[in-house]
Structure 1
Amino acid sequence: MEEVKKKYKSYDELKKDLEGLQMNIKTDRETVLELTSMLNSSSLDTTERVDVMETLLDYLHQIDNAILFCDIGGMKLVIKNLNDSNAEMRSISSAILATSLQNNPKVKVYCIKEGVLHHFVRALSTEAELPVKKKLLFALSAMVRNFPYAQTKFGELGGFSVLAKLFTLPGTLEEATKLSERTLTLVVDLLDEHQSVTKDNKHHSSEELLTQYQNFPLLEHLLQNGFCEIVGNLLENIPQREFENGTIVSGKTEQGRHLHDPAILIGYGTNRNCEELPSEGHRSNALVCMTSSCWQHWQKCITSDGDVWEGRACVKQPPLHALMRTRLGRQLPIRTV
């Protein structure tokens, strides 16, 4: 019996140990409160503040933690740090915003009241470090997706002009391409989002939400800031092998010449520049095919789901209502609209 007592702890001893463990376990709420208090401390240097924010980042994926962080004033400090002179501070601040804003309507409303869109537009215009720009773009994307009010405010602040300039930044080809790809991804996804609500209304959006989308002139912003020209320039820089291996859809002209530089465009609005468009199963805003070097007559277009439509479209110039449906060499689902 004595040997058993020596080998195993008694119930009272186990209970005492367990109580000690429970005393050392902090809830997420307690941790966020403590870290935010540290962030408010004037005694921390920049490196220590960055360390605290990196720890916070692990907790702010949780929706409730991110809302709490806003409620206790932590997000105000983060937004302010977007203008910090230290690149690491700007980077982690952008990452925290991106994480907290994703699928979190309450945080989005809080941040827009705090003027975060002004900070995004200014920071994207002035930021010299491409890695920081990418995180800023990620945060902006999380802010404006499925939030037409934020999209409207972003447009009013000249945000689409800033996005257009992201395609012509200096830097290595790989860095510039990644930034261009992410920017184009955001623009195309916003177009899809507007199409889904205003034309299809697949999610049965409320009248108020539908009105917000309808009142936001997304296409006008894109056209005014030269996105059609930007798309053409991007296509010219895509390696021919991307077209040859089927990553990007290609086609054949009426003359039989194989084209290696076509993009698939989704037309929004009326096809006023087209003499003739495919009619079977397609509305006036049907898929339009183009080449980056010239606009041709097309016999057919094969969509990603295997559908083929016959017909031809003669386009004298790029339709002002169309935007590229490819992301720099990445396979995309192509759909008629």
Structure 2
Amino acid sequence: MVLFKLINTLRNKNCVFKGAVIIWCLNIHLISTHTEKFPTALTIKEDEFNKEKVYDTHKTQDSGELEVFYPTNEWQTLKPGQAVPAGLHVRLNLQTGQREAKLGEEEGVKYWTHKQRPKMNKQSVLFTTKKLIQALKKFKGGTDDPLKIISGQAEESQSSPFYPVDNLKRDMKMINFLVETDVQIMRKLLSQFNSTSSTVDQRVTALLELEYLVHQVDNAQNLLSMGGMKLVIDALNSTDVRLQESAAFVLGSAASSNPLVQDQALEGGALQKLFTLLAASHPVSVKKKALFALACLLHHVPFAQSHFVKIGGVQVLGELFQEQGADNLRVRIITMLYDMITEKELILQTGIDAVPNSSHQEYLQQYNEVSLQPILAEQGWCSLVPELLGSPEHDGREKALRTLLAMMPHCQTQYQQNPTLITSLSTLQKEYRKHFLTEETLGEKDGYFGEILALLDSLIMKTH
């Protein structure tokens, strides 16, 4: 009956789980105590004055603490209120009417001898009547966690599902933990880079850390608002090659797929400074980063591409392509040229009239003014690109084949008159046909070597 009354009391509560745990604990306590000769009972009474349910006990013969019973090999009488450990033999003595218990198995003796008796804390293992009543009252009032009350861990203050902000600040202060935003970090890095007391190593470190942050579009735009882009562009003119290389790296990462940064960098003279880095005598590492920044600035910016062609950018790239020791740069160069060619073709496929937006029409008109392919044919790229077919890397060969196909409208005649090219294509076709058959044997359809073989087949067909 008591259990049903408690369930009705807890039925309208939200904390169903905690209430169930309390009822379970109370049920164990009641079962244990009712099996004694002098049972302990818990009743619920209605207060006439405040109409609140109050909990009381009656017929309590013990102090509320459940004493642990320590068994031996002999039958012992169980006292009222004693808790019986699991695994014992328990019987009812019909002569005395008392319950008795002893050890169940012989192998259990070694665990229950007086010398090796396990240490048990009754308050930590068992629940008292007083704690159960207190837990039920607190649960009804919604003040503390009832489970903590039973185990004696409840605090006087009301518990909260969230960690207090003041406590969090205090803990952070104690461990000297400071949370900084990306903007704050970028300001510090720019201050370090621009400081006259900073060494070259410190300035290079600041740039490299900035490069990591400006990959995010918002951080790259914040670099503009902080005035950091001007500092980066000015560093391209530095006399230290490490600063030039790092500055170009930051510029390229910030401008990548970020039109706002592209526009600001172009207005700040970045294109001309990168052009100078590529044309002058600089280490390959500097030119490698300069090519990366240049490709990011020109990507999907037809006005910048047109300007680059007009100031002799294609000629500079041709000279760089033929430099001794520039093998690592050749793939990057033709990749940038290929991207510019195909980008224009894809944009113009829709046609100017098909786009109702006037700004987009202007954008397409700018692409019409980019005359890259005729310049490439005039400056000898129809014979320069085939040189990359001798690359030992599959990636270099693939990029060369794709660029040759992209330049086909203006280079087809020169391809047909180039016996070295035709021989190279035939040799590569045989090689990649073997690779393709190996892919098929392994069950790989539409594999990488199959793509390269398709490019070779297309080129050979158009050059014969």
The whole-number CA distance in structure 2 between the counterparts of 1:263 and 1:80 is 34
Change (3 A) 1:199 1:25: same
The whole-number CA distance in structure 1 between the counterparts of 2:221 and 2:179 is 22
Percent identical among aligned pairs is: 27
In structure 2, the partner of 1:26 is 180
Instruction: Give the greater-gyration-radius structure (CA).
Output: 2
In structure 1, the partner of 2:327 is 177
Change (3 A) 1:265 1:105: same
In structure 2, the partner of 1:52 is 206
User: Aligned ranges for residues 1-337 of structure 1 at < 5 Å?
Assistant: 4=153, 15-20=165-170, 21=172, 24-171=178-325, 176-199=326-349, 206-235=360-389, 237-238=390-391, 265-267=405-407, 269=409, 273=413, 293=420, 331=452, 334=455
Cα offset, 1:262, TM superposition: 12
Cα offset, 1:70, TM superposition: 1.4
Cα offset, 1:264, TM superposition: 5.2
Cα offset, 1:269, TM superposition: 4.8
Alpha carbons 1:264, 1:289 under 8 Å: kept: no
> Residue 139 of structure 1 aligns to which amino acid in structure 2?
A
Cα offset, 1:38, TM superposition: 2.5
Change (3 A) 1:26 1:227: same
TM-score, scaled relative to structure 2: 0.50
Secondary structure of the structure 2 residue equivalent to 1:137: helix
The whole-number CA distance in structure 2 between the counterparts of 1:222 and 1:270 is 9
The whole-number CA distance in structure 1 between the counterparts of 2:196 and 2:280 is 27
Select the structure that is richer in helix: 2
The whole-number CA distance in structure 2 between the counterparts of 1:82 and 1:4 is 65
Cα offset, 1:270, TM superposition: 7.3
Structure 1 gaps of 5+ residues are 250-260, 275-287, 303-329
The whole-number CA distance in structure 1 between the counterparts of 2:453 and 2:304 is 26
Alpha carbons 2:382, 2:411 under 8 Å: kept: no
Alpha carbons 1:265, 1:290 under 8 Å: kept: no
The whole-number CA distance in structure 2 between the counterparts of 1:271 and 1:155 is 19
Secondary structure of the structure 1 residue equivalent to 2:405: strand
Higher RCO, 1 or 2 (CA under 8 Å, sep at least 6)? Answer: 1
Cα offset, 1:16, TM superposition: 3.4
Q: How much is the aligned-residue C-alpha RMSD, in angstroms?
A: 3.9
> Residue 209 of structure 2 aligns to which amino acid in structure 1?
T
The whole-number CA distance in structure 2 between the counterparts of 1:216 and 1:37 is 40
> Residue 263 of structure 2 aligns to which amino acid in structure 1?
V
Structure 2 gaps of 5+ residues are 1-148, 430-450, 460-464
The whole-number CA distance in structure 1 between the counterparts of 2:275 and 2:238 is 15
The whole-number CA distance in structure 1 between the counterparts of 2:411 and 2:248 is 40
> Residue 162 of structure 1 aligns to which amino acid in structure 2?
V
> Residue 215 of structure 1 aligns to which amino acid in structure 2?
E
Change (3 A) 1:46 1:267: closer
The whole-number CA distance in structure 2 between the counterparts of 1:152 and 1:263 is 19
> Residue 110 of structure 1 aligns to which amino acid in structure 2?
Q
The whole-number CA distance in structure 2 between the counterparts of 1:216 and 1:178 is 27
How big is each residue's C-alpha offset from its partner over 1:7-34, in whole Å with a ceiling of 9 and x where there is no partner? xxx9799643422539821111222222
TM-score, scaled relative to structure 1: 0.68
Change (3 A) 1:49 1:180: same
